Amino acid sequence: MGYNTLNGEKAIKSVRKAVIPAAGLGTRMLPIARAIPKEMLPIVDKPAMAYLVDEAVKSGITDILIITGRNKNAIEDYFDYSPEYEAAFERRGKPEKIDEMRESAAPGGARIYFLRQRETKGLGHAILCAENFVGDEPFAVLYGDDVIVSETEPSTLQLINSYNKFGKTVCGVHRVPREQLKKYCSLKAEPIEGSENEYFVDDMVEKPQREEDMFSDLSILGRVILTPDIFDILRNTAPGAGNEIQLTDAIAAQARRDGVYAIEYEGTRFDIGSKNGFLIANTVMGCRNPETADEYKTFLKEFVKTL
């Protein structure tokens, strides 16, 4: 077990575990979500889930629990060996391809575990399923349908660095246009002196409908580091918006009790759980991928002229 020093004084446990909730029904991605988990939809040639696992590993995470459900077997298959492909590459004398495939199935040697959430009772309930895996440690949560591409450090690592400073729950936030806040959450946040992108948070509301609940345009988007006391709170959290157990409601209780922190992370977020998010992710990443960029950009330049 590793420890870090908080403000040069108290020792805090390091973040080495991550939970990726991926059991949701994905109703916004119907009809495809009936047969393919939205978390397995491709961005160019890799499923969204692979981007998340890569990000966790690059952030120093060694153990990853993916919360799955019925109709989500494709996730487990992806992170398994592929004996048929391996035999084919063996026959073709391409051993480097076998190594490549094994590395993408277990990036950086990370240990990947799976657990089923039997009923889709909400993101908060999915996280509660991870209690035994997490134990008494801080842990990262990467929302299964939010792919984040950063230019500097992976977004999870940016949050971990912040956690190492404050030793409390840290929410990854971005600014959301006010008219869209109703679909997200709103944080009551005070900038931290001497920091350009970190905040102290003492309240938040999930899907605020009333003007007075819209504390700010800062909303949690896709990543949080949670302290393990969240499990006791989640156990006592009643279903909220959409009649689901909301993770935001539990973090709000932590915020009102002790305060939590937020960091406006650097990175572009693609909501792969929405049709436009999926299309935009493929357009942006298709223009960046060395295998596709030239031809795809040539096509796009001609295509936009016809719009």
Residues that bind ligand UTP (CB under 6 A): 21-28, 39, 67, 117, 120-123, 125-126, 143-145, 273
Beta carbon of residue 158, minimum distance to ligand UTP (angstroms, whole number) = 20
Residue type, 239: P
- Minimum separation from the CB atom of position 139 to ligand UTP (A): 15
Pick between residue 70 and residue 111 the one whose CB is nearest to ligand UTP: 70
- In this chain, which residue has its C-beta nearest to ligand UTP? 24
Nearest distance from residue 299's CB to ligand UTP, in Å? Answer: 30
Nearest distance from residue 255's CB to ligand UTP, in Å?
20
What span, in angstroms and rounded, lies between the C-alpha atoms of 52 and 54? 5
- In the bound state with ligand UTP, the residue whose beta carbon lies nearer, of 67 and 140, is 67
Query: What backbone phi and psi angles, to 5 degrees, belong to 47?
Result: -70, 155
H or E element that contains 164? helix 155-166
If the CB atoms of residues 12 and 75 are measured against ligand UTP, the closer one turns out to be 75
Please, what is the Cα angle at 64 between 75 and 266, to 5 degrees?
Answer: 95
Contacts of 140 (CB under 8 A, 6+ apart): 15, 17, 18, 19, 56, 59, 61, 156, 159, 160, 223, 224, 225, 226
> In the complex with ligand UTP, which residue's Cβ is closer, 168 or 223?
223
Three-state secondary structure call for residue 51: helix
- Extract the tokens encoding 238: 């009643």
C-beta of 66 vs 233, nearer to ligand UTP = 66
For the bound state, the minimum distance from the C-beta of residue 26 to ligand UTP, rounded and expressed in Å, comes to: 4
